[in-house]
C-alpha cells in the first residue's frame, strides 16, 4: 500500500544528517510509484511529486525536524493543500431557500447523502426539504421517501402514476414548495447512470439551470479508482460542481480518488460519507485525509508538537545575538531549558515514533524537574549576574543557593553545565565561519 511504501522509503532517510538531492529523488520515485499503486491518476501524480521535490530541495526546512520528518511533513502539507486546505463550509443563499443539488453516477450514494445532509442540517436548526428528481429508476422516488422519513425531514415527490414525469419540472415545483412552506434549504436528488451518459448529463444541467443551486455537490465513490479523473472531469464539464462528496470511505480505499478529483477539478472535497447509516457522514477534513493516505497520523502529531516546542523566535533571537558578537549567557541558558520543558511534554509520544533513536535517547534522559531546579537557581541571580556569569564567586553562589532553596553543590553543577553549553555555543559560532567577529576569543 501507499503507506507501507512511504514508510519504507522514510526508513531509508532516517539517521541521515540532511537531505541530499539524491535522497529527495529516491524518495520522490517511491512516492510516485506508491501513488500510482493507490490509483491516483498519472497527471496528478506527476504534479504532486514535482511539487514535493521542489519543496524538499528548497530551504524551507524546519530546525525542529529530522530529515525523515521533514519529508513526511512536506508530503503531508502538499496533500492537504491539494485536498482543499481548510475544510470548506456550505455556502448558504442570502435569500433562502438555499438550493443544494446532488450529482454523480448511479450508486455513488446521492440518495443516501440527501438523507444524511438533511438530518445533519435539521440538527443544526435548519428545515430542509428533499426533492426527488430521479425519475429514471422505478424505485428511486420511494427510496428517497424512505430515507427522508428515517432522517426526519420532508420529501417533495411527484404524484405517483403520472407517467415518466419531467425531473426539471419537479425540481422547480420542489423549490416553489420550499418557499411556500418556509423550508430554508432544498436538497435536490438527481438521477445517474452507471457510466457517463450524455442524456442524463443534459438532464442534470437542465435541472441546474432551472433551480440555480447555491451548491452543486458531486458525489463520488471512493472505491472508483483510476476512473475517478475521467468521471470527475465529465461532471465538471457537464453540470459543473462547487464541491465534492467522497462516499464509501468506510471501505478500504486509501483515498487516491480524493486526490485525483481535487487536483483535476480544483474543487474542494467538502463531505465524507462513511457508511450506510444516516449518521455516517461528516465534514471533510483535508488534514485527516492526508494522514489517512499517508497512514502516519501518529508521526504527524509528533511533528506538529515538535515544531510547536521548538520556538523559532527564541532560536532566531539567540542566533542574532551570538552573531552580533555577544556571549551566550545564563538568560539564554534559561530560555533553552524552558524550550526543553516543552519537549518534555512530547516525551510520552516518542514511543510511537519509528526510528529517530538519537532523539529518543535525548528525550528519555531529559528530566523535567531538572528544568525547575535550573529555573529556581537562575531566578535567584541578579540580572547583572545572569549576563556576567564570571563574577559568580563562592559568596554569591551560597547566597543564590539559599535564595533558591538549593545547595551550593546544585549551583556549582548548574554552572558546570552552563559552561559546557557556553563552550558549545562558542564552537558553533566559530564553526559558522565568522572569524572576524568582535568579541571572539582565540
Ligand atoms: P445513488 O444511486 O447515487 O442515489 O446511490 P444510493 O444513495 O442509492 O447508494 C447506493 C448504495 O450505496 C446503497 O446501497 C447505499 O446504502 C450505499 N451507500 C451509500 N453511501 C455509502 C457509504 O458511505 N458507505 C457505504 N458502505 N455504503 C454507502
Ligand atoms: Mg439515488
Beta-strand relationship, 215-221 and 243-247: parallel
Distance, in Å, from the CA atom of 30 to the CA atom of 216, rounded to the nearest integer, reads 36
Q: Give start-end residues of each CATH 1.10.260.30 domain in the chain.
A: 311-431
Q: Does domain 98-284 have CATH number 3.40.50.300?
A: yes
All CATH 1.20.120.140 domain ranges in the chain, comma separated:
2-86
Question: Could you tell me the CATH superfamily of domain 311-431?
Answer: Signal recognition particle, SRP54 subunit, M-domain (1.10.260.30)
Rounded to the nearest angstrom, the distance between the alpha carbon of 68 and the centre of ligand 2 is 45
Query: In CATH, which of 1.20.1050.10, 1.20.120.140, 3.40.50.300, 3.40.30.120 is domain 2-86?
Result: 1.20.120.140
To the nearest whole percent, how much of the chain has pLDDT over 90? 42
Which ligand places an atom closest to the C-alpha of 144?
Answer: 2
This model of the complex carries an ipTM of 0.99
Contact in structure between 265 and 244 (CB atoms under 8 Å): yes
- Beta strands 128-132; 185-189: pairing state: parallel
Biggest alpha carbon–alpha carbon distance for the chain: 103
pLDDT at 433 over 50: no
Q: What is the per-residue pLDDT across 214-272, written as a single tens digit (0 to 9) for each?
A: 999 999 998 887 788 899 999 999 999 999 999 998 877 767 888 889 988 999 999 99
Ligand 1 midpoint to CA 248 (Å) = 7
Which of the pair, 305 or 346, is modelled with greater confidence? 305
Calculate how far, in angstroms, residue 96's C-alpha sits from the geometric centre of ligand 2. 25
Report how far ligand 2's centroid is from the alpha carbon of 134 (Å). Answer: 7
Q: Whose CA is nearest to atom 9 of ligand 1?
A: 109
Distances (CA, A) of 439 to 314, 330, 386, 434, 442: 22, 18, 18, 11, 10
Q: Where in the chain is the domain with CATH 3.40.50.300?
A: 98-284
Nearest CA to ligand 1 atom 16: 276
| pLDDT, tens only, 161-186 | 655 589 999 999 999 999 999 999 99
Q: Which of 101, 131, 276 is the pocket-test mutation for ligand 1 (most atoms within 8 Å of CB)?
A: 276
Task: List Cα–Cα distances, 429 to 101, 425, 434, in angstroms.
Answer: 63, 6, 7
The verdict on the CB of residue 190 being under 6 Å from ligand 1 is: no
Q: Of 70-79, 144-153, 401-410, where does mean pLDDT reach its minimum? A: 70-79
Tell me if residue 434 falls in helix, strand or coil: coil
Determine if ligand 1 sits within 6 Å of the CB of residue 250. Answer: yes
349-375 pLDDT tens trace: 444 444 444 455 555 566 667 778 888
Task: Tell me if 272 sits within 8 A of 221, measured CB to CB.
Answer: no
Separation of CA 138 and ligand 2 centre (Å): 11
Contact 308/342 with Cβ under 8 angstroms? yes
Taking alpha carbons only, the member of 132, 134, 83 closest to residue 105 is: 134
Q: How many CA atoms, within 13 angstroms, populate the side-chain half-sphere of residue 198?
A: 0
pLDDT at 439 over 50: no
Extract the annotated binding site for GTP.
104-111, 189-193, 247-250
- Cβ of 274 closer than 6 Å to ligand 1, yes or no, is yes
Amino acid at each position: 500500500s501507499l503507506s507501507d511504501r512511504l514508510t519504507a522509503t522514510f526508513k531509508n532517510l532516517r539517521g541521515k544528517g540532511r537531505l541530499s538531492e539524491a535522497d529527495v529523488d529516491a524518495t520522490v520515485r517511491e512516492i510516485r510509484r506508491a501513488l500510482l499503486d493507490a490509483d491516483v491518476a498519472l497527471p496528478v501524480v506527476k504534479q504532486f511529486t514535482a511539487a514535493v521535490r521542489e519543496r524538499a530541495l528548497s530551504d524551507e526546512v524546519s530546525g525542529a525536524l529530522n530529515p525523515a520528518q521533514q519529508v513526511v511533513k512536506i508530503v503531508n502539507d502538499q496533500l492537504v493543500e491539494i485536498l482543499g486546505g481548510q475544510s470548506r463550509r456550505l455556502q448558504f443563499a442570502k435569500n433562502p431557500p438555499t438550493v443544494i443539488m446532488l450529482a454523480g453516477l448511479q450508486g455513488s450514494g446521492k440518495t443516501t447523502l440527501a438523507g444524511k445532509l438533511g438530518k445533519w442540517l435539521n440538527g443544526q436548526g435548519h428545515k430542509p426539504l428533499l426533492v426527488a428528481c430521479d425519475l429514471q429508476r422505478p424505485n428511486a422516488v420511494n427510496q428517497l421517501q424512505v430515507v427522508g422519513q428515517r432522517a426526519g425531514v420532508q420529501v417533495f415527490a411527484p404524484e405517483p402514476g403520472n407517467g415518466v414525469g419531467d425531473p426539471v419540472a419537479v425540481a422547480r415545483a420542489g423549490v416553489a414548495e420550499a418557499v411556500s412552506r418556509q423550508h430554508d434549504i432544498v436538497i435536490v436528488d438527481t438521477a445517474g447512470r452507471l457510466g457517463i451518459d450524455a442524456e442524463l448529463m443534459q438532464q442534470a444541467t437542465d435541472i441546474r439551470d432551472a433551480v440555480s443551486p447555491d451548491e452543486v455537490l458531486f458525489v463520488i465513490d471512493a472505491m472508483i479508482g483510476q476512473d475517478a479523473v475521467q468521471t470527475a472531469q465529465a461532471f465538471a464539464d457537464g453540470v459543473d460542481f462547487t464541491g465534492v462528496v467522497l462516499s464509501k470511505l468506510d471501505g478500504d480505499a486509501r483515498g487516491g480518488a480524493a486526490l485525483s478529483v481535487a487536483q483535476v477539478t480544483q474543487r474542494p472535497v467538502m463531505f465524507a460519507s462513511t457508511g450506510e447509516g444516516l449518521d455516517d457522514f461528516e465534514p471533510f477534513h483535508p488534514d485527516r485525509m492526508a494522514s489517512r493516505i499517508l497512514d502516519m497520523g501518529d508521526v504527524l502529531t509528533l511533528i506538529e508538537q515538535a515544531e510547536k516546542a521548538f520556538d523559532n523566535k527564541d532560536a532566531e533571537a539567540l542566533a542574532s545575538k551570538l552573531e552580533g558578537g555577544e556571549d551566550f549567557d545564563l538568560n539564554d541558558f534559561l530560555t533553552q531549558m524552558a524550550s526543553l520543558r516543552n519537549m518534555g511534554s512530547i516525551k510520552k509520544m516518542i514511543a510511537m515514533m519509528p526510528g529517530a533513536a538519537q532523539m529518543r535517547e535525548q528525550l528519555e534522559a531529559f528530566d523535567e524537574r531538572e528544568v525547575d531546579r535550573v529555573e529556581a537557581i537562575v531566578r535567584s541571580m541578579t540580572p547583572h549576574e545572569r549576563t556576567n556569569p564570571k563574577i559568580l564567586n563562592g559568596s554569591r553562589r551560597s547566597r543564590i543557593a539559599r535564595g533558591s532553596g538549593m545547595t551550593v553543590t546544585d549551583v556549582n553543577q548548574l554552572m558546570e553545565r552552563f559552561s559546557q553549553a557556553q563552550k558549545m555555543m562558542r564552537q558553533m559560532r566559530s564553526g559558522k565561519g565568522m572569524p572576524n567577529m568582535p568579541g571572539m576569543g582565540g
